[in-house]
Amino acid sequence: MSLIVQKFGGSSVANAERVMNVARIVTDTYKKGNSVVVVVSAQGDTTDDLIEKANEINPNASKREKDMLLAAGEQISISLLAMAIEKLGYPVVSLLGWQAGFQTSSAYTSARIKRVNTDRIMKELDKKNIVVVAGFQGINRYNDVTTLGRGGSDTSAVAIAAATNADLCQIYTDVEGVYTADPRKVKNARKLDIISYDEMLELATLGAQVLNNRSVEMAKKYNIELEVLSSMTNAPGTIVKEAVKMEKMLVSGVAKDTNVARISVIGVPDVPGLAFKLFSKLASKKINVDIILQSIGRDGTKDILFTVAKENGKEAVKLMEDFIDVVGGKEVNISENVAKISIVGAGMESHSGVATKMFEALYDAQINIQMISTSEIKISVLIDAYDADNAVSAIHSKFFDEN
């Protein structure tokens, strides 16, 4: 007998028919003699709809109240799924995040899981119940409801798998696995049979939303093998695991991230310590900076450009305007019309020419590159948002359709 964690995303439980479909997958697993813990997200677009409802009333509502609202989405799914499982004649209990033992940091809307106290889950499994847990939520040290950030149910599932020492963690979604690019956008995207934690982590961080990046980080940390698969077909999915004896893919995928803003700080003094002081300002407000570009100094001044997540754009501009008021500088600009396109592959480390091939694909498609950044297993470029989908297709076909 095995302990299996199965997670179902929003589209997998979007309506009554889908909920019944999930109930069948879960009970089929249970019938085979397994203990099953199920993690579910809110139905369909429920979380987006709740955010809209909040904004109608108060766009500046406190994060605590936002979490109180958003957590409601998952409460609906767990109860409906439990009812569907009851209908099929199996013993089941639904649990909210706090009931399932999710203790988190106090950072409302982006809380981190500190610990999962599995006592209740284990008790219910001992009673032979199927346990259905609300993903995306927990409770902080003030006994307030928290949420884990968008896409957080994946992380809830991996956390339960780690805390209960589960034998298998399956992430069911609306595509058949992890592909070389978003299969909804790139028609020749190929399903990967297997991908390493490191590559998956990069892809997820760089915009492939099929798995939440924190869930991959946690899976790697606790060595939990993940299977990403479709709740709608029976096709085999993608295994995400440690890269032992795995063939290193030159490029395993292309990802797009449009949640990017480019900030340009123009005409600042070309003196030692300037970059340090500038980025300290951002760090002090916990604003993460991604790609950085600094021009060569000319006439005693230089320009510094960097990217941040869109939601941090305004605050970053304000900080930079205050900064140039003190140190001197010409102006601060922001562009939100940009996208970051990345390729990821563990094989890049030992192969030259990968960047050239990516740049050639962009040149062929007449797409201009604004900024570039590289690491051992990834290359990212910043381009005009208008070109984003074209760029992904052009790069994807360069690496996967030729040869």
Residue 152 contacts Mg ion per CB under 5 A: no
What are the φ and ψ backbone dihedral angles of 374, each rounded to 5 degrees? -135, 155
Residue with smaller CB distance to ligand ADP, 183 or 267: 183
Residue 135 contacts Mg ion per CB under 5 A: no
> Taking contact as CB under 6 A, which single stretch among the options 51-59, 131-139, 170-178, 244-252 is the one that binds ligand ADP?
170-178
Amino acid at 369: I
Residue from 3, 130, 161, 181 touching ligand ADP (CB under 6 A): that is: 181
Closest to 118 measured CA to CA, from 166, 168, 169, 68: 166
Residue showing the smallest CB distance to ligand ADP in the complex:
9
Residues with Cβ within 8 Å of residue 74, at least 6 apart in sequence: 40, 41, 42, 96, 97, 134, 135, 136, 137, 153
Measure the CA–CA gap between 358 and 339, rounded to whole angstroms. 16
Residue from 10, 101, 177, 237 touching ligand ASP (CB under 6 A): that is: 10
Q: How far is the CB of 303 from ligand ASP (least distance, A)?
A: 37
Closest to 22 measured CA to CA, from 160, 166, 172: 172
Residue 77 contacts ligand ASP per CB under 6 A: no
Q: How far is the CB of 98 from ligand ASP (least distance, A)?
A: 16
Q: How far is the CB of 151 from ligand ASP (least distance, A)?
A: 5
> Taking contact as CB under 5 A, which single stretch among the options 82-90, 123-131, 145-153, 250-258 is the one that binds Mg ion?
145-153
Measure the CA–CA gap between 227 and 136, rounded to whole angstroms. 19
Residue 9 contacts ligand ASP per CB under 6 A: yes
How many other β-carbons are positioned within 10 Å of the β-carbon of residue 60? 6
> Taking contact as CB under 6 A, which single stretch among the options 39-47, 255-263, 315-323, 357-365 is the one that binds ligand ASP?
39-47
Site string for ligand ASP, 124-143 (x = CB under 6 A): -----------xx-------
Residue 9 contacts ligand ADP per CB under 6 A: yes
Q: How far is the CB of 8 from Mg ion (least distance, A)?
A: 10
Residue 42 contacts ligand ASP per CB under 6 A: yes
Q: In the range 25-44, which residues lie near ligand ADP by CB under 6 A?
A: 41
Site string for Mg ion, 5-24 (x = CB under 5 A): ----x---------------
Residue with smaller CB distance to ligand ASP, 42 or 131: 42
Residue 35 contacts ligand ASP per CB under 6 A: no
Q: How far is the CB of 50 from ligand ASP (least distance, A)?
A: 9
> Taking contact as CB under 6 A, which single stretch among the options 41-49, 224-232, 269-277, 351-359 is the one that binds ligand ASP?
41-49
Residues with Cβ within 8 Å of residue 144, at least 6 apart in sequence: 64, 67, 68, 106, 108
Residue 102 contacts ligand ASP per CB under 6 A: no
Site string for ligand ADP, 240-269 (x = CB under 6 A): -------------x----------------
Interface residue list for ligand ASP (CB under 6 A): 9-10, 41-42, 47, 73, 135-136, 150-154
Interface residue list for Mg ion (CB under 5 A): 9, 151
Interface residue list for ligand ADP (CB under 6 A): 9-12, 41, 151, 173-175, 178-179, 181-184, 208-210, 253
